[in-house]
Amino acid sequence: MVELLNPILWHSIVAAATFFVLPTLGEIYAERSGILNLGIEGMVIAGAAGSYAIAYQTQDILLGVLFGMFIGGLLATIHAILTITFNRNQVVSGIGLTILGTGLSGLLGDAVIGKALKGIDSTPIPILNDIPTIGEVFFDQNIFVYLSFILAPILWFILYKTRIGILIRSVGENPSASMNQGVNVRLIRYLCVIFGGMMAGLGGAYLSLGWLNFWTDGMTQGRGWIVIALVVVALWNPLGAFIGSYLFGMFDVLQFSFQHEAIPFIFPTGIPPSVLKMMPPVSTILFLAIWGIILSQQKVKSIVGAPSALAKPFED
Amino acid sequence: MKIANYELIFQKRTFSITGFRAIAYRILFVIFGLMTVGFIFLLNGINPLDLFFLSNRSMLRIILILLPHTFVSFIPLLCIAIGLAIPFKARIDNIGAEGQFIMGMLAATWTAMEFPDLPSIVLIPLMFLNGFILGAIWALPVVFFRAKGGFQGADVVVSFLMVFPALYLMQYLVSGPWRDPATGFAFSKILPESAQIPGIPIEIYVPFLDATWNFDPVHISIFLVLIIALVTYYYLFRTEEGIPKTKIGYEINVTGKNPLAGRMAGISFFKVILISMIISGGLAGIAGVAEIAGNKLRLTVNSAGYGFTAIVVAYLGGLNPIGIIFSALFFAALISGGTAINLTGLPVSALDMFSGIILFYVLLSEFFFRYTIKWRRS
């Protein structure tokens, strides 16, 4: 039987969850401002390839991470120009972004496929690291993981407790009313979408430099799409994103844990990996199905606060 | 929008652009797209003019030499893209055609292995029928999420995520129960003779290319998909003075343009989604059957990704079957031209950049159908 209480297993769950936290936080800000960006997958994969390539060529990890964020922000800017300035269909533009990002990742990462690079070391946090089990699981990780611990509450605070947060939410809720109040709707939306792209690029940099430590074509395996589902599961709340990401991190890690577990009659020699790989997408679909039934009741929707103007064209 | 001393103004046109001028605009923006891709190649130290036209290994030359192969990829692209145009027209974002396509391939393989003794004339239509059914079933969750889901984007995400179960199911079957013990790879058995769709036995020698066009790989499903294109055009897309001629075509159009008005007029939103998704999934399934029975002849662990390219094909074709025939030809040619990219040492996935950037420009071109841009000194 799989040792489910094994700290090593939980250590890798935290590592997997961090990948989901970073882009989800960014996408929450973009969607809160009213812009649906379906191009997460493209920005993440281009960020992963770009950051690994630059880090390999300059042997400077920090430069690589910054470049990954730059690529993510750049791609998001294209989406912002098309959807905010030119008012085009956000879904189609997002799909284009995913396709473009995938192509760009092939170009950026071509020279470094299979090249080994020492990624970011884990830096144990002194005192906290000594707590039995918890210290080992949470506080013996690398800097990205700590960043995700800090960013989730900070971004929650900004969104709900500051003036900027109110502006962002009002723009996503009712852009025309905000504009009449003198709010620069386009500027706020641009900043949120670009911030989302930079966070996706950061997530990509974490994927290739902080977590898996290699680059290969198509290495995200559709995880970017799970991020979009996660925003819904998180109810557009940065703290919810944190909880949701750990849930999905668990699915992501546990899929590899049952390869030698036989199920009588169906899989007598162990569950094949291709069947286990279905777990994250299938569980996401089930999640959305359950959530979809709950959320379609108007009352509940008003409580959770899905941005009303999300993906709606806005012309002034 | 203000930039320094100048002001940028979007001015609404009195009449939006339609017909031939719209097509000309699209072609112009595709050229802009190709120039942008060329610029990215230039940054990578590859001369785009050489890559596109001039050199001996240019994309243009390779596309011409590989013309029959262009038609081979044209078949699935056209079939899937026409299927996609229907829900897109109704503003239902089905981006999971790849999964529906894979299910079509599985249905074809299963049918052929289960009934190898049936004569071709019965077996092949049966394969197409099963492909249609399984593809349509795979599209049904989107109907549920679109009709029931209380938030934007859920249907998009679900339609995409349905690709993965299909892909992994294929990987499982090919590496497990359906594996051909005669090969060392994860391949299924080659389809029985009776299940194979015949090719077009024509060979033409082309003097100026010094090459022979062998149309044998182009299977006769090409006629089937062209007929599908014309039939869907006739029943769903045909318009008179801008208004769709058939009832269902009209309902799809209204649902896409103004769902609220449609509901007021008594159009069932659910019915429109259901019908358009069943046709869409079914056509992707048919494309999968044609691909496996006409071209690949056996399942392997991966799929060519036609389902994603077809999204761009559908938009470039203006969501109209006749336009899609031409945009499918264009993208099929790009796919054969991808060999040229490979020869420069870049990965084939760089080809996705063409699709992504061209999609952006097509989106942008639609803006200029309704607006003009003016610079003014402020």
* Contact across the interface for A107 and B364, Cβ inside 8 Å: no
Task: Give the C-alpha distances (Å, rounded to integers) separating A92 from A36, A201, B60, B237, B363.
Answer: 10, 21, 29, 21, 8
B351 in contact with chain A, both atoms CB, cutoff 8 A: yes
User: Closest Cα of chain B to A230: distance in Å?
Assistant: 10
pLDDT at A215: 86
Is B125 in CB contact (< 8 Å) with chain A? no
Cα nearest neighbour of B372 on chain A: A86
Inspect the interface and report whether the beta carbons of A91 and B156 lie closer than 8 Å. yes
Whether the pLDDT of residue A187 is over 60: the answer is yes
Question: How far is residue B279's CA from residue B291's CA, in Å, rounded to a whole number?
Answer: 18
Closest CA to B358 of A80, A77, A99: A99
User: Which B residues, 317 through 346, put their C-beta within 8 Å of a C-beta on chain A?
Assistant: 345-346
What pLDDT sits at residue B301? 81
Q: Which chain B positions have a beta carbon within 8 Å of A275's beta carbon?
A: 168, 172
Q: Could you tell me if B154 lies within 8 Å of chain A, comparing CB atoms?
A: yes
Q: What are phi and psi of B182, to 5 degrees?
A: -75, -20
Average pLDDT in chain A: 84
| Contact indicator for B217, B69 with CB cutoff of 8 Å | yes
* Strand B211-214, strand B243-244: pairing: unpaired
Interface probe, candidates B8, B157, B174, B303, chain A, greatest A C-beta count within 10 A: B157
**Cβ pairs A/B, distance under 8 A:** 170
Q: Is residue A136 pLDDT above 90, yes or no?
A: no
Q: List all residues 6 or more positions away from B26 whose beta carbon is below 8 Å from its beta carbon.
A: B316, B318, B362, B365
Q: Who wins on pLDDT, A90 or B339? A: A90
pLDDT at residue B151 is higher than 70: no
Q: What is the DSSP letter of B179?
A: B
Identify the pLDDT of residue B1. Answer: 65
pLDDT of the residue at B59: 83
Confidence of residue B374 (pLDDT cuts 50, 70, 90): confident
Neighbours of A102 (CB within 10 A): 26
Please provide the DSSP assignment of A182-218 as one string.
T--HHHHHHHHHHHHHHHHHHHHHIIIIIIS----TT
Q: What is the pLDDT of residues B95-133, one digit of tens each?
A: 889 999 999 999 999 999 999 888 989 999 999 999 999
Look up residue B236 and give its two tokens: 């769903």
pLDDT at B7: 77
Chain B residue with Cα closest to A85: B1
Cβ pair A296:B154 closer than 8 A: no
Residue A301: pLDDT over 90:
no
Q: Is the pLDDT of residue A46 over 60?
A: yes
> What average pLDDT does this structure show over A61-74?
93
Query: HEC string of B263-289?
Result: HHCCCCHHHHHHHHHHHHHHHHHHHHH
**8 Å CB contact of B308 and A99:** yes
What are the tokens at A60?
Answer: 């400077």
Q: Which of B97, B62, B76 is nearest to B333 (CA)?
A: B62
Binned at pLDDT 50, 70 and 90, residue A66 comes out as: very high
A132 versus B222: the higher-pLDDT residue is B222
Confidence of residue B153 (pLDDT cuts 50, 70, 90): low
Residues of A within 8 A of B351 (CB-CB) are 103
ipTM of the complex as predicted = 0.87
Give the CA diameter of chain A: 67
Q: How far is CA B308 from CA A42, A102, B96, B99, in A?
A: 13, 12, 8, 10
* ∠ Cα A285 A290 A293 (to 5°): 120
Contact: A99, B356; criterion CB under 8 Å? yes
Mean pLDDT (whole number) for B82-86: 94
DSSP B217: T
Nearest CA in chain B to A236: B151
Instruction: Establish if B169 touches chain A: CB-CB under 8 angstroms.
Output: yes
Angstroms from A276 CA to nearest CA on chain B: 9
| Nearest of B198, B256, B172, B52 to residue A266 by alpha carbon | B172
Q: Which residues on A lie below 8 Å from B169 (Cβ)?
A: 274, 278
Q: Grade residue A312 by pLDDT with cuts at 50, 70 and 90.
A: confident
Over residues A229-239, the pLDDT tens digits come to: 888 778 888 99
How far away is chain A from the Cα of B148, in angstroms, using its nearest Cα? 7
Check CB contact under 8 Å for B151 and A232: yes
Q: What is the pLDDT of residue B164?
A: 86
**Nearest CB to B168 within list A99, A277, A298:** A277
Question: Which amino acid is located at B306 in the chain?
Answer: Y
| Torsion (CA) A40, A43, A47, A50 in degrees, nearest 10 | 160
Task: Check CB contact under 8 Å for A99 and B151.
Answer: no
Interface contact flag, B145 A301, Cβ < 8 Å: no
Q: Which of A45-49, A221-225, B182-186, B307-311 has the highest mean pLDDT?
A: A45-49
B309, B352, B361, B369, best to mutate vs chain A, most A CBs in 10 Å: B352
Distances (CA, A) of B225 to B127, B131, B213: 15, 14, 22
Residue B275 has pLDDT above 80, yes or no: yes
Decide: residue A266, CB within 10 A, 0-12 exposed, 13-18 middle, 19+ buried.
exposed
Average confidence (pLDDT) over B26-49: 87
Contacts of B143 in chain A (CB under 8 A): none
Q: Tokens 């493209």: give the residue.
A: A42
Of B40, B93, B145, the CB nearest to A288: B145
Chain segment A210-225, per-residue pLDDT in tens = 888 888 888 888 788 8
Structure token pair of residue B160: 């995409």
Question: Does B352 contact A274 at a Cβ distance shorter than 8 Å?
Answer: no
User: Is B350 or A295 the better-scoring residue by pLDDT?
Assistant: B350
Model pLDDT for residues B242-273, shown as the tens digit of each residue: 788 888 888 888 888 888 888 888 888 889 99
Of residues B339 and B324, more confidence is placed in: B324
Q: Strand B211-214 relative to strand B371-377: parallel, antiparallel, unpaired? A: unpaired
Which residues from chain B sit within 8 angstroms of residue A296, using beta carbons?
148-150
Give the pLDDT band of residue A302 (cuts 50, 70, 90).
low
Q: How far is B93 from chain A (nearest CA, A)?
A: 8
DSSP assignments along B107-172, one per residue: HHHHHHHH-TTS-HHHHHHHHHHHHHHHHHHHHHHHHHHHHH--STTHHHHHHHHTHHHHHHHHHH
The residues, any chain, with a CB within 8 Å of residue A264's CB and separated by 6 or more, are none
Contacts of B239 (CB under 8 A, 6+ apart): B245, B249
Whether A222 and B311 lie within 8 Å, measured CB to CB: no
Give pLDDT, residue A235.
80
Confidence of residue A197 (pLDDT cuts 50, 70, 90): very high
What domains appear along chain A, each with residue ranges and CATH number?
Answer: 7-304 (1.10.3470)
For residue B139, the model assigns a pLDDT of 93
Residue B22: pLDDT band (50, 70, 90) is: confident
In angstroms, what separates the C-alpha of A36 from chain B's closest C-alpha?
8
Helix axis angle, A223-233 relative to A279-295, nearest 10°?
Answer: 30
Q: What is the pLDDT of residues A254-282, one digit of tens each?
A: 777 776 666 766 776 677 777 877 877 88
Complete DSSP assignment for A224-292: HHHHHHHHHHTTT-HHHHHHHHHHHHHHHHHTTTTTT--BTTTBTT---HHHHTTHHHHHHHHHHHHHH
**Among A215-219, A291-295, B154-158, where is mean pLDDT lowest?**
A291-295
Question: Computed from CA positions of residues A303, A307, A309, A311, in that sequence, does the dihedral angle turn out positive or negative?
Answer: negative
- Residue A137 neighbours by CB under 8 Å, 6+ apart: A7, A10, A11, A14
- Exposed, middle or buried, A5 (CB in 10 Å: 0-12/13-18/19+)? exposed
What percent of chain A has a predicted confidence (pLDDT) above 70? 89
Nearest-angstrom CA–CA distance, B267 and B278: 18
For residue range B303-326, list pLDDT tens digits in order: 778 888 899 899 889 898 999 999
pLDDT at A304 over 90: no
Residues of B in contact with A82 (CB under 8 A): 360, 363-364
Cβ contact B29:B364 at 8 Å: yes
CB of B352 less than 8 A from some CB of A: yes
Question: CB A288 to CB B366 under 8 A?
Answer: no
**Fold of domain B68-343:** ABC transporter involved in vitamin B12 uptake, BtuC (1.10.3470)
Q: So where are chain B's domains?
A: 1-46+346-378, 68-343
Residue B273's alpha-carbon distances to B2, B232, B235, B253, B310, in angstroms, are: 42, 16, 17, 12, 20
pLDDT in tens, B55-83: 777 888 888 888 888 999 999 999 999 99
Q: Which of A36, A84, A107 best tests the B interface by mutation, with the highest count of B CBs <10 A?
A: A107
- The answer, yes or no, to whether residue B5 has pLDDT greater than 80, is no
The alpha carbon of residue B338 is apart from the nearest alpha carbon of chain A, in Å, by: 12
Torsion of CA A38, A39, A43, A45, to 10 degrees: 90
Q: Name the percent of chain B lying above pLDDT 70.
A: 97
